A and B are shown apart, each in its own frame.
Chain A
Amino acid sequence: MIIATLCGMGFGTSMLLKLTIDDVLKEEGMTNYQIIPWDLGSFKGQRADIVVAPMDMESHLKDSSATIVLIKNLVDKVEIKEKILAAVNSQEG
């Protein structure tokens, strides 16, 4: 499973998301995933099963065929965990 975390530049927010999601999925005992941080511009045309991005990037992701996960508070592990696990389960189901 390929999870893309997005932000404007690929240095801050997308990295924060990657670190937190990695923690969450490891705690769940998952191993068959790859998390790749991207900046919005470079991501266009890349393949991902799940795309995770800040809430106000929604309008940039309309064309994506991936499952989209939008996060309000990017340091809230509870919110991130809930939303990413729901997306992962929808992939597996």
Chain B
Amino acid sequence: MGAKLQVRLTDALNAQTVKAKVTATSWEQAVEVAGMVLVQANLVEPRYIDAMKKTLRKLGPYSVIAPGIAMPHARPEDGVIQTGFSLVTLVNPVTFGNAENDPVDILLAFSASDKERHITALKEISVFLSNDGLMRKVRTANSNDQLLDVIRDFERINN
């Protein structure tokens, strides 16, 4: 992957970037919350949120990558400050319009500053999101601390 520093998912998801049991009534609201977390962690400029929504409208809801799980994102030039991730869970699932994988109650949004730095984290995401036991815990976590406990569980399994 070259000499560029890789971001690890288990570092990127921390007290600043996870949010459990958010109330949202539409996919737009859910994406706004996941995007706001990135803004508040100083990973993206506010315009990145609109870019994520615009992308979803234009290219369709394919960012719902697995049953109940969406991975919204935009491009580096849409206001990325640095590569990072946010994990948001919803009280009530929302519909994105994806025939296979709706409705969604887990959002893993990301900002990529280039095409390399987030690759290690993407590999980790693939392992994390395909672990049904961990996803059950993510869905039942009632607080940010409980959500972080799941990340720590994953870190132990994955290392």
- Residues of A participating in the B interface, judged by any CB pair closer than 8 Å: 7-13, 15-16, 19-20, 40, 54-57, 72-77
Q: Residue of B at shortest CB range from A70?
A: B100
A57–B62 Cα distance when bound, in Å, is 7
- Work out how many contacts link A and B, with CB atoms closer than 8 A: 76
Q: Is the interface of B mostly helix, strand, loop or mixed?
A: mixed
A57–B58 Cα distance when bound, in Å, is 12
A50–B126 Cα distance when bound, in Å, is 22
Contact across chains for B125 and A75 when beta carbons are under 8 A apart: yes
**Choice from B58, B67, B115 contacting A11 with Cβ under 8 Å:** B115
Contact across chains for A8 and B55 when beta carbons are under 8 A apart: yes
Q: Is B81 engaged at the interface, CB distance under 8 Å to the other chain?
A: no
What's the minimum C-beta distance from A25 to chain B, rounded to whole angstroms? 15
**Choice from A9, A73, A77 contacting B65 with Cβ under 8 Å:** A73
Contact across chains for A72 and B126 when beta carbons are under 8 A apart: no
Contact across chains for B55 and A56 when beta carbons are under 8 A apart: no
A9–B75 Cα distance when bound, in Å, is 7
Contact across chains for B112 and A74 when beta carbons are under 8 A apart: no
Other than the given A9-B73, A19-B126, 11 more pairs (CB < 8 A) read A9-B74, A12-B65, A12-B122, A15-B118, A56-B100, A57-B62, A72-B100, A72-B101, A75-B65, A75-B69, A75-B129
Contact across chains for A16 and B126 when beta carbons are under 8 A apart: yes
**Interface extent on B, as a size class?**
20 to 34
Across the interface, which residues of B come within 8 angstroms of A15, CB to CB? 115, 118-119, 122
- Residues of B participating in the A interface, judged by any CB pair closer than 8 Å: 55, 58-63, 65-67, 69, 71, 73-75, 98-101, 110, 112, 115, 118-119, 122-123, 125-126, 129-130
- What are 19 of the A-B contact pairs (CB < 8 Å)? A9-B59, A9-B73, A10-B115, A12-B65, A12-B110, A12-B122, A16-B65, A16-B122, A19-B119, A19-B126, A20-B126, A55-B62, A55-B99, A56-B60, A57-B62, A72-B101, A73-B67, A75-B126, A75-B129
